[in-house]
Amino acid sequence: MNDVFLKACRGESVPYTPVWLMRQAGRFMKEYREVRDTVDFLTLCKTPELAAKVTFQPVDLLGVDAAILFSDILIPVEAMGMRLEFSEKKGPVLHDPIRSRAHVDRLSVPVPEDDLSFVMETIKILRAGLKVPLIGFSGAPFTLATYMIEGGSSKNFLATKKMMYQSNGLYGSLMDKITDTVSAYLKAQIKAGAQVVQIFDTWAGVLSPADFKAYALPYVKRIIKELKGLDVPVIYFVNGCAGLLKEIKSAGADVLGVDWRIDMADAARSLGKKAVLQGNLDPCALLMPKEDIRRKAQDIIEKGLKAKGHVFNLGHGVLPEIPAENVKYLVDAVHEISAEARR
């Protein structure tokens, strides 16, 4: 097995900078679209053979150094008892959003091996065939809470912040249930065979540093603490992290993912010499001419060398509009540039 990604996550010496991409299995690939045209999104997530097939695709076609389980962060939320659907125009929709104590009390903490058995089966299929490490994942408690409270995506997160500020006890009870769910879910993925897990805090960047520290970070810390001792690196990715680095540093994760809104050298300096970083090319940069993609990748790679370890990634997911040939070019360029930089 190619273990360069695992070594980088642990801050060990590597011959080149490993690369994988958030949403590397997605609509920018015609091979993915061909599968997706046959089933709806939730069915794809819940059918182990199909989920495994699209997980394999970017490993085989792009040459990335890790696979990430094909699923969605809201899958465990559905298992908690909320009705979930995906709209082509609106994205995820969670019906009957959380507004009261009765709503929270109705939620359950699922048993992943039973209620999410299709995820574990997908992991087992992948581990039997992959020649690179497998990343499992979950949404972070705050990010999942926003979807559950808002009923979907939001621009200002008014309902979430209203609950935080005006009904703190209710908010805490909801977060406790989500945290227990995420902990159990990630442990089950690790038991099934995931070799690294990533916690996605997609919306934590909407919080001030003080609010992040009070309303999001404690729950992430609790999860990471429970995963310690399982000998699996934990990546914590916060979208919009530039103003939160001081707080994120204390989360306890083995790898800290950063988005493109902060210079990689600044992130490495702020997070310290013991930090392993992941990131951080702007996904839209993949629309640039190839020579410019290469130049931007080289800049990030060179700055990533200042950290204890570096995993190359985008600052968020690959967009559907990105040409697949540019994504492949990026992966090859990262391998070539970083190997040369280490000679």
pLDDT in tens, 161-182: 999 999 999 999 999 999 999 9
Q: Is 266 annotated in the active site?
A: no
Coil vs helix vs strand at 314: strand
Spot the catalytic one: 10, 36, 261, 295.
Answer: 36
Confidence of residue 90 (pLDDT cuts 50, 70, 90): confident
Spot the catalytic one: 16, 32, 147, 171.
Answer: 147
Coil vs helix vs strand at 135: strand
Spot the catalytic one: 10, 27, 99, 127.
Answer: 27
Q: Is 36 annotated in the active site?
A: yes
Spot the catalytic one: 23, 65, 171, 236.
Answer: 23
Phi, psi of 332 (to 5 degrees): -65, -40
Burial of 148 (0-12, 13-18, 19+ CB in 10 A): buried
Task: Please compute the mean of the pLDDT values over residues 319-335 and round it to a whole number.
Answer: 98
DSSP β-bridge partners for residue 241: none
Coil vs helix vs strand at 211: helix
Confidence of residue 88 (pLDDT cuts 50, 70, 90): confident
Tell me whether strands 276-281 and 91-94 are parallel, antiparallel or unpaired.
unpaired
The predicted-structure confidence for 46-64, as pLDDT tens digits, reads as follows 999 999 999 999 999 999 9
Tell me how far apart the alpha carbons of residues 30 and 28 are, in angstroms, rounded to a whole number: 7
Domain ranges of the chain: 4-341
Q: Which residue type, as a one-letter code, is found at position 163?
A: M
Give pLDDT, residue 87. 79
DSSP β-bridge partners for residue 138: 199
Looking at the domain that runs over 4-341, which CATH code has it been given?
A: 3.20.20.210
Confidence of residue 343 (pLDDT cuts 50, 70, 90): confident
Phi, psi of 232 (to 5 degrees): -130, 125
Q: Is 23 annotated in the active site?
A: yes
